[in-house]
Each structure stands twice: as C-alpha cells, then as structure tokens.
C-alpha cells in the first residue's frame, strides 16, 4: 500500500501550527477577546445557546411532517433508494411512477430525473427499504448527526491551529453559526437533503489535510462528492497539493468502486447512459438555469444573455485554481497549512464559478476564518458577502422552511453578489498571506522558522 495513503501526510504538526497560528490566533485574540472558551461556565452557556437555537429552528423540522406534504427534494432521494433497493436503476424513467404510487408531490408535470452520482447508493439504498415517512424521519436524524459531527470537526480544525478554547465551546459556536445565522440550515432540514452530509465531508477533507490522516481525506472526499457542484473544486485543490494527492486519488478510487455497484441494476452501460442523459437534461428545468442559480453563469446571462456550458465553467474554475497553485510559495515549513488554505479558497471558487443554490453556501463557513487575516477593507467586503449568503434575518421563518427572498431569480442575484464579494476577499487574503510568506522566505536562510511579528 502506498505510504501516502496508509501513513501520515506530514511528519510533524509543528509546520501546520506555524502556518495557521497567525490567522486563527487573531480570531481568538480579537473577536473573542476577554472570553475564556476553556472555562466550564462558558462551555455550558454556549452549549445551552446552541441547544436552544436547535430546539427552536431545527427540531420541529426533524420531528414532524414525515413525509413532507410539499414537493421537497427528499422525495427524489427516497425514490432513488427505492429503485436501488428493488434492483432497478434510479436513472431509469420508471422512477417517476413511484411518485404517483406513493402520492409524493413534485414541482413539474413529471418528476425531474435523478441527478446524483451512483456512489450515493451506499447512503440511499437502505432508505428504500423503509416507507417514505420512516425514511424521511431517519434521514432527518442522520442530518442532525451530520450537524453535530461537522461542529466537532470545525472545533478540532480551529483548536489544532492554535486558537485557545475547549472542543465543546468551539463546537457550540459552530452549531450556533449554522443554526442561528445560516438560512441554508433550515432549507436543508425542510427539504431533507444531503447538503449537511456533503459539508461534513468537506470538513473531513480539511481535517485530513491538517492532521495528515489520510482516512479523513478518503472518507471526506467520498461524502463531499455526493454533490460535485459543492465540492469538486476542493477535491481538485487537494489533488494539486503533493501531500494530499495520494489520499484524494484513493477517494476517487473508492467512489469508482461503489459507483459500479450503483450502476449495476439495469446493467452498467445502460445505467451509465441513462445517468449521462439525465445530466444533459439538468438545465432544461427552470430551477436549474443560469437565471435561477447564482455564480458566474448568472452574471454572464444577466449582462450579455450568454448561457455558458458546464464544461466551460469547470474549465474556468480549473484554470483559476491552477493559476493560484502555480503562484503559491512552496517553502516547506507551511505546506500542510497552505493545503488547507488552498482547499478553503477552492470551495469558495467552485461556488463562484459553478451554478449554485442557496443551500450550497453553507460550505463557505470555513472561509470566514480566512477573512480574519484580510486587510480591514477586504475583511468588510468578505463579511458583507457572507452575510448576504447567510440570510440570517430569516430565522423567524426557519420552522416553515421559507427563504428570505421569494423568487429564485431574485435570490440568484443577491447570492451572486454575495459569493463574488466573498471570493474577492478570500483571494486577497490568500494573496496577502502568500506575499508575507515570500518576504519571510527571502529574509531568512532556508529551514529556519518564520520570524514572529
């Protein structure tokens, strides 16, 4: 077995800590100045606040209305699982008959095709053995688990980077941020979709790059790529970094192996052909057009009437990441830290270049920490962008799953502005950090630690 997959990605955590301490210690020393995040009283207060927000905004969506009476996305997940559980391909047109058979509402005259990748079989096939209501309740509980696990991983990321405080305090802060400020969280629980699981995968990838644990990268990539629109750019970023290349390739291999199982019902080649046909029809549905989804495509469509293809947008995102990677300073002592920074930048870049929906933007949460290192003006730009994406004023509507702005086109416009501002601020943060590393590298002999400022 390759040492890059079975062994650690780095030989020492000291390099990573130096690379991240400047960014994250700033957060602990300024944003939370005077607050002892290690104190038991602080832990209890933060945990109680997180629990209170959860009880108000999330728990009603977890416990009631299964299956949902409206046309929610979970109906598509369950019908796909039902097809897999009965030995049929979820990409086949016959899946649509399940909506009528079980009385599941859908938006269009005929249910939209199934668009998820075939390795989703591991998550969805067990749901098909249950009734729609029982499966919906179970999946809500799974999403609660993803919320908790992602909060723990986020806490570990921050604490390992040098920010003081207990795991419980940081995990509670992360949970409060997601539940109380991200409107996306209520959308995720209302529609009962995989977005939180994908987000958990992204954080696992970052944690694996941070600690050198290849298993985190492998498992995280498997979960994150359930939604390539949210995570493909981050996976590509880790592929570009030598220290994370082997485990992300192993993740691709695992996905390919499970995908064979997912394509097996109905025959691998016919199922693959049906899946590609579904993907080709993705933009035929009004909710999936550039007018209704945010990002570069929305700007090009609104300003010039252009509708760039997915391939062109992927190419543009890849070119941007390749440019950032080529310009990256490669002095050895902060390589692990830069891998994580680069992956965070890639998450934001992917959501900027590729068509995105409101709930996807929960993935940019780690980018808030990059903003701390930005200059004052750019930090404000990034914060404004993040607040636009969060739509935190919608908390009162959370139990009903109602978006802050009605109408997909209006939401796409504001989301496009928000992600553009956040992307610009993250690029500036990354570039300023690279500039400081370059100065430090010229100011000292190779191999010496960075000068403390």
Please write the tens of the pLDDT for every residue from 150-186. 999 999 988 887 778 899 999 999 999 999 888 889 8
C-alpha distances (whole Å) from 416 to each of 294, 302, 304, 392, 436 are: 5, 11, 15, 17, 30
- Contact status, residue 69 vs residue 105, Cβ threshold 8 Å: yes
At residue 410, the pLDDT reads: 67
For the stretch 327-367, pLDDT in tens is: 765 433 456 677 888 899 999 999 999 999 888 999 999 98
- Residue with the larger pLDDT of the pair 388 and 272: 272
Please check the confidence at residue 43 and state whether its pLDDT lies above 60.
Answer: yes
Instruction: Report pTM.
Output: 0.86
> Minimal CA–CA distance to 342: which of 326, 327, 324?
324
Please check the confidence at residue 53 and state whether its pLDDT lies above 80.
Answer: yes
Please check the confidence at residue 216 and state whether its pLDDT lies above 80.
Answer: yes
Percentage with pLDDT > 90 across the chain? 58
Query: Among the listed ranges 35-44, 73-82, 408-417, which one has the minimum average pLDDT value?
Result: 408-417
Mean pLDDT of 376-401: 70
Query: Among the listed ranges 192-206, 226-240, 262-276, 392-406, which one has the minimum average pLDDT value?
Result: 392-406
Greatest mean pLDDT range, 103-107, 227-231, 387-391: 227-231
Mean pLDDT value across the chain: 83
Task: Give the integer Cα–Cα distance in Å for 263 and 275.
Answer: 9
Please check the confidence at residue 269 and state whether its pLDDT lies above 90.
Answer: yes
At residue 433, the pLDDT reads: 66
For the stretch 85-101, pLDDT in tens is: 999 999 999 999 999 99
Distance of CA 58 to the CA centre of its chain: 19
Please check the confidence at residue 34 and state whether its pLDDT lies above 70.
Answer: no
Please check the confidence at residue 413 and state whether its pLDDT lies above 50.
Answer: yes
SS3 243: helix
Q: Exposed, middle or buried, 252 (CB in 10 Å: 0-12/13-18/19+)? A: middle
> Minimal CA–CA distance to 320: which of 340, 348, 291, 357?
348
At residue 113, the pLDDT reads: 94
Query: Among the listed ranges 282-291, 303-312, 386-395, which one has the minimum average pLDDT value?
Result: 386-395
Confidence class of residue 452 from pLDDT cuts 50, 70 and 90?
very low
For the stretch 423-441, pLDDT in tens is: 999 888 877 765 555 444 4
Confidence class of residue 32 from pLDDT cuts 50, 70 and 90?
low
Q: What is the residue extent of each domain of the chain?
A: 11-443
Confidence class of residue 21 from pLDDT cuts 50, 70 and 90?
very low
Output the DSSP codes for 379-435.
Answer: HHHHHHHHHHHHTGGGGGGGGGT--SS-SHHHHHHHHHHHHHHHHHHHHHHHHHHHH
For the stretch 438-449, pLDDT in tens is: 444 444 333 333
């Amino acid at each position: 077995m390759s040492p890059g997959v079975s062994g650690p990605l780095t030989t020492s955590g000291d390099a990573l800590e130096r690379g991240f301490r400047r960014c994250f210690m700033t957060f602990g020393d300024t944003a939370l100045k005077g607050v002892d995040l290690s104190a038991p009283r602080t832990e209890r207060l933060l945990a109680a606040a997180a629990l209170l927000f959860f009880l108000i905004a999330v728990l009603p969506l977890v416990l009631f209305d299964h299956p949902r009476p409206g046309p929610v996305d979970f109906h598509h997940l369950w019908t796909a699982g039902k097809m897999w559980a009965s030995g049929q391909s979820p990409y086949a047109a016959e899946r649509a008959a399940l909506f009528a058979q079980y009385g599941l509402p859908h938006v269009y005259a005929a249910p939209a095709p199934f668009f998820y990748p075939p390795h989703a079989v591991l998550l969805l096939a067990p749901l098909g053995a249950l009734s729609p209501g029982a499966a919906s309740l179970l999946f809500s509980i799974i999403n609660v688990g993803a919320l908790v696990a992602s909060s723990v991983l986020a806490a570990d990321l921050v604490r390992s980077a040098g920010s003081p405080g207990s795991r419980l305090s940081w995990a509670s802060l992360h949970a409060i941020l997601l539940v109380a400020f991200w409107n996306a969280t209520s959308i995720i629980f209302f529609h009962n979709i995989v977005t939180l699981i994908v987000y958990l995968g992204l954080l696992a990838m970052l944690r694996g790059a941070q600690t050198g644990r290849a298993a985190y990268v492998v498992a995280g990539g498997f979960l994150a790529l359930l939604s390539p629109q949210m995570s493909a750019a981050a996976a590509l970023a880790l592929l570009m970094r030598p220290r994370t290349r082997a485990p992300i390739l192993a993740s691709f291999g695992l996905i390919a192996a499970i995908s064979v199982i997912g394509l097996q019902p109905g025959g691998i080649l016919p199922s693959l052909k049906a899946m590609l046909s579904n993907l080709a029809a993705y933009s035929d549905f009004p909710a999936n057009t550039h007018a209704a989804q945010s990002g570069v495509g929305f700007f090009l469509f609104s300003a010039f009437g252009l509708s760039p293809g997915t391939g062109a947008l992927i190419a543009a995102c890849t070119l941007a990441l390749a440019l950032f990677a080529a310009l990256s300073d490669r002095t050895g002592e902060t390589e692990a830290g830069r891998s994580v920074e680069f992956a965070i930048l890639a998450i934001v870049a992917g959501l900027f270049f590729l068509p995105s929906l409101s709930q996807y933007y929960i993935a940019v949460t780690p980018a808030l920490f990059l903003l701390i290192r930005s200059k004052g003006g750019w930090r404000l730009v990034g914060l404004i962008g993040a607040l636009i994406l969060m739509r935190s004023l919608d908390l009162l509507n959370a139990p009903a799953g109602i978006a802050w702005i009605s109408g997909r086109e209006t939401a796409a416009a504001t989301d496009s502005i928000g992600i553009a501002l956040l992307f610009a601020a993250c690029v500036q943060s990354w570039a300023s950090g690279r500039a400081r590393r370059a100065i430090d590298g010229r100011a000292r002999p190779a191999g010496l630690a960075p000068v403390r400022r």
